[in-house]
Amino acid sequence: MAEDLAGKIAAELKVRMERNKVPIPIGVSNRHCHLTKEHFKILFGASAEPKRIKDIKQPGFWAAAETIEVKGPRGSIKKVRLVAPYRDHTQIELAWTDAHILGVNPPVRESGQVKGSAGALLIGPAGQVELKEGVIVAQRHVHFAPKEAAAIGVKGGELLRLRCGTGGGRSTIFEDCIARVSDKYSLELHLDTDEAYAAGVKTGDLAYIV
């Protein structure tokens, strides 16, 4: 009985130690939007197309030249960057600091789960969209390519704890980091600006599973 328990603890510690060895680069997401083609055309004009200005680390995604204004009952934020390509649902990802400025109360959600989330008015140079739902605070998450996940036994949907910011007076363990595994992904912990500032970290700093 005691030996069974000792064996289990030893196995668990071994997994933890293996996982803890892998440095995971942090990517800090500023507020941004994903738009449907329909909404893009309303906001920027029927003949407009998103202009690529910078690839982002996750393969296939890129920052566009286009930005919109997002307006809520209390205030508004200009220059919210479009991340392309088009999506099936328009989604505005804010930090709660941003949500407080707008006066909206978005839920913490995984990307794509916009049902029943908050609304806002979207304003572009060619028109406006009254968005009923789509405003979320992104659940923090770790992108893994399948090989990277398999190497340390991580499964998609698993909740991980990651430590970062050590040595800067704001060492933080972020729990509830959801693992997302796809061959379109590359190893990265995504935090929003509130989370990054709370831990005193920036894009390219390293986090460790604990």
Is the distance from CB of 126 to CB of 180 less than 8 angstroms? no
CA nearest 108: which of 140, 84, 83? 140
Is residue 116 a contact residue for a copy of itself (CB under 8 A)?
no
**By CB under 8 A, which span of 5-13, 16-24, 75-83, 96-104 interacts with a copy of itself?**
96-104
Residue 206 binds a copy of itself, judged by CB under 8 A: no
Pick from 22, 179, 187, 198 the residue near a copy of itself by CB under 8 A: 198
Q: By CB under 8 A, tell whether 6 contacts a copy of itself.
A: no
**Stretch binding a copy of itself (CB under 8 A), from 57-65, 117-125, 161-169, 180-188:** 161-169
Spacing of C-alpha 152 from chain mean position: 22
Residue 120, exposed/middle/buried by CB under 10 A (0-12, 13-18, 19+)? Answer: buried
Site for a copy of itself in 175-194 (CB under 8 A): 175-176, 193-194
Candidates 12, 78, 171, 184; binder of a copy of itself (CB under 8 A) is 171
Distance between first and last Cα of the chain: 27
Give 140 or 143: the residue with its C-beta nearer to a copy of itself: 140
| Distance of alpha carbon 189 from alpha carbon 179, whole angstroms | 9
